[in-house]
Chain A
C-alpha cells in the first residue's frame, strides 16, 4: 500500500497568513494527488485534484503543487472560514486509495 504522510499534524496561524501543508507519498505517485478540507461534523470537500487543478467553486487562494512523492497545499491569505482539517489523498493505486492522516489548521 502507498502510505501518505502529512506535515505538520497541526498548525496555528492567523487570518491573512500564508500557510503551506506538505504531503509525502511512500513511492512516486506522479500527479495523482488530491486535497480535501473538512470542518467539524461535515463531509470533506474537494479542493484540488491532480495535484494542482482547482476544483470548481473553490477560491483561488487555494493552490496545489508537486509531483512524484512531495506535494504542497498553499493557502495564500487565510480567511476565517479556512480553519479546518486538510487531507491529502492518492489515487495512483486506485482502486486502493489512501489518505494522509490530516493537518488541523487552528486559529492563533
Chain B
C-alpha cells in the first residue's frame, strides 16, 4: 500500500527556517516524480516544488531561492528545506506522487499534510 507521511511542521517566526519530511512506503521515491503542494488556511491549492527521478528540481516563483527540495533514497524520504520564511508561507504542506500516463501527469497519492505557521 502506498503511503506518504509528512512531518516537521510547526510555528516559526518570520525569517526563520524549517525542514519538512515526507516518508514514503509502498513505492520508491527515486523512481517517481514527487511534489510539494501547499494550501493556505481557507484557500486553494498551490504547487510548490517538484523533484524528478533524475534529481532535477523546480520551484514556484513564490519560493524560488528560499526553498530546497531534496531526497534521501536510502530512507525513501523527501525533504523540503524552507528558509527566510514569510507570513504568506503559512499553509498545510502536502507531499504528493505523480501518476504518469505518457506525457500526462497528475497527483495520485497524497500525504495527510503538515501545518506550517509563520508568525511572531
Binding site for B on A (CB under 8 A): 31-32, 34, 36, 38, 43-46, 49-50, 53, 55, 87, 89, 91, 94-102
In chain B, what residue has the closest Cβ to A87? B45
What is the minimal beta-carbon distance from A32 to any residue of chain B, in angstroms?
A: 6
Is B110 in contact with A89, judged by CB distance below 8 angstroms?
no
Can you list 10 residue pairs at the A/B interface with Cβ under 8 Å?
A31-B104, A32-B103, A34-B106, A36-B107, A38-B45, A43-B94, A43-B112, A53-B104, A91-B104, A91-B106
A53 to B105, CA, bound (A): 12
Which secondary structure dominates chain B's binding surface? strand
User: How many residues of B are counted as interface, with CB atoms below 8 angstroms from the partner's CB atoms?
Assistant: 23
Task: Pick the contact of B111: A31, A43, A50, A53 (CB < 8 A).
Answer: A43
What is the minimal beta-carbon distance from B95 to any residue of chain A, in angstroms?
A: 10
What is the minimal beta-carbon distance from B15 to any residue of chain A, in angstroms?
A: 27
In chain B, what residue has the closest Cβ to A53? B101
Which secondary structure dominates chain A's binding surface? loop
Is B101 in contact with A50, judged by CB distance below 8 angstroms?
yes
A48 to B119, CA, bound (A): 37
A96 to B45, CA, bound (A): 13
Binding site for A on B (CB under 8 A): 35, 37, 44-47, 50, 52, 58, 60, 94, 99, 101, 103-108, 110-113
Which chain A residues lie closer than 8 Å to B47 at the CB level?
96-99
Task: Pick the contact of A99: B46, B58, B101, B104 (CB < 8 A).
Answer: B46
Is A102 in contact with B44, judged by CB distance below 8 angstroms?
yes
- Can you name 17 extra interface pairs (CB under 8 A) apart from A49-B104, A95-B58, A102-B45? A43-B94, A43-B110, A43-B111, A44-B94, A44-B110, A45-B110, A50-B106, A53-B104, A87-B45, A89-B45, A94-B50, A96-B47, A96-B60, A98-B47, A99-B45, A99-B46, A100-B44
